[in-house]
């Protein structure tokens, strides 16, 4: 009995040790990026990248944040687009997926084929640009940062698969009690699908947060620049100043500035991922069906 207990304890400690080692290996690159952003450019040139800054310096952040107003405004635009876009995309895709998962919908196979077809074939950048900029007239409109990414076929198919696995008896019982499809979806399907909603919602938030290409194509107004596009422009300016050193009145912290840009870009979305973590655990509990 004692031997079995020691064996179990050994394997438990071993598994936790392996997981801790993997977590540290995943965390070290982030520490390296943060450390490099606070390191002097000359120190990086001499000693390379280290986990602890060899010569501490905040000049990279001072260089990047010279126009503080533009950065704060870009943060506001990106936060608005991420929050509103993720919620709207999650609602639209979940409603579409729920309709596709119901066997009583006559056109569900045709709808599923339409979604799957768009997953395989893309209309092209030029037709898309013409439709968005000329037909819809969404240039320099904040909606242009939300609408093109609102429906992702892969996420719709994932949600449809999850909804199809829900017990039909529970939904039929709700219909017998007089509940309509809207009430069934919002009061029964959504609480039971918290893990799926949390996962797809986080993926949508990452998609909106990291997008810069839509701003590059359709936004000319500096007041509507997204954070990623603003940082993309700053990175381009740093590269130009680095190549043409005679134009720059001061030294350009190229490597620390790149790391500072990465820290500014990933900071809030990491907090969002940590915040969404509790909904994964909570969703497993809510999604449990007792016999």
What are the 10-residue block averages of pLDDT along the chain, 291 residues in total?
69 86 85 86 80 83 82 89 93 91 82 85 85 88 92 89 84 83 87 84 89 91 88 80 59 76 78 67 45 38
Give dist(CA 228, CA 266) in Å, integer. Answer: 10
Residue 181 lies in a domain: yes
Task: Please check whether residues 26 and 72 belong to one and the same domain.
Answer: no
CATH number at residue 149: 1.10.3720.10
Task: Please tell me the predicted confidence (pLDDT) of residue 287.
Answer: 42
* Number of structural domains found in the chain: 2
Task: Please tell me the predicted confidence (pLDDT) of residue 251.
Answer: 62
Task: Please check whether residues 164 and 81 belong to one and the same domain.
Answer: yes
Give dist(CA 99, CA 185) in Å, integer. Answer: 10
Q: Which pairs count as long-range contacts for 112-120, CB under 8 Å and 24+ apart, including other chains?
A: 112/157, 112/160, 115/153, 115/156, 115/157, 116/153, 116/157, 118/153, 119/153, 119/154, 119/157
Residue 59 lies in a domain: no
Task: Please check whether residues 103 and 209 belong to one and the same domain.
Answer: yes
Task: Please tell me the predicted confidence (pLDDT) of residue 276.
Answer: 67
Task: Please tell me the predicted confidence (pLDDT) of residue 286.
Answer: 41
Taking alpha carbons only, the member of 274, 273, 271, 267 closest to residue 75 is 267
Task: Please tell me the predicted confidence (pLDDT) of residue 284.
Answer: 46
Q: Which domain covers residue 20, as residue numbers?
A: 2-37
> How many Cβ atoms from other residues are within 10 Å of residue 229's Cβ?
21
Whole-model pTM: value is 0.81
How far separated are the first and last CA of the chain, in Å rounded?
Answer: 35
């Amino acid at each position: 009995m004692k031997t079995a207990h020691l064996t179990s304890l050994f394997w438990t400690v071993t598994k936790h040790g392996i997981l801790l080692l993997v977590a540290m290996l995943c965390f070290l690159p982030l520490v390296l990026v943060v450390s490099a952003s606070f390191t002097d450019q000359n120190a990086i040139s001499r000693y390379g990248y280290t986990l602890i800054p060899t010569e501490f310096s905040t000049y990279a952040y001072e260089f990047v944040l010279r126009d503080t107003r533009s950065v704060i405004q870009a943060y506001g635009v990106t936060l608005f687009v991420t929050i509103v876009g993720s919620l709207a995309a999650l609602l639209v895709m979940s409603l579409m997926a729920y309709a596709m998962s119901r066997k009583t919908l006559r056109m569900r196979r045709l709808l599923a084929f339409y979604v799957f077809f768009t997953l395989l074939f893309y209309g092209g950048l030029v037709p898309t640009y013409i439709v968005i900029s000329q037909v819809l007239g969404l240039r320099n409109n904040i909606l242009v940062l939300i609408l093109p990414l609102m429906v992702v076929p892969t996420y719709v198919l994932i949600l449809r698969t999850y909804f199809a696995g829900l017990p039909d008896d529970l939904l039929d019982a709700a219909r017998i009690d007089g509940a309509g499809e809207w009430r069934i979806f919002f009061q029964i399907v959504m609480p039971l699908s918290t893990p799926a909603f949390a996962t797809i919602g986080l993926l949508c938030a990452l998609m909106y947060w990291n997008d810069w290409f839509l701003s590059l194509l359709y936004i000319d107004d500096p007041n509507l620049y997204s954070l990623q596009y603003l940082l993309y422009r700053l990175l381009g300016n740093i590269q130009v100043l680095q190549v043409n050193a005679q134009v720059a009145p001061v030294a350009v912290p190229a490597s620390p500035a790149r790391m500072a840009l990465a820290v500014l870009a990933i900071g809030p979305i990491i907090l969002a991922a940590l915040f969404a973590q509790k909904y994964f655990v909570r969703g497993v509990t809510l999604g449990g069906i007792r016999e």
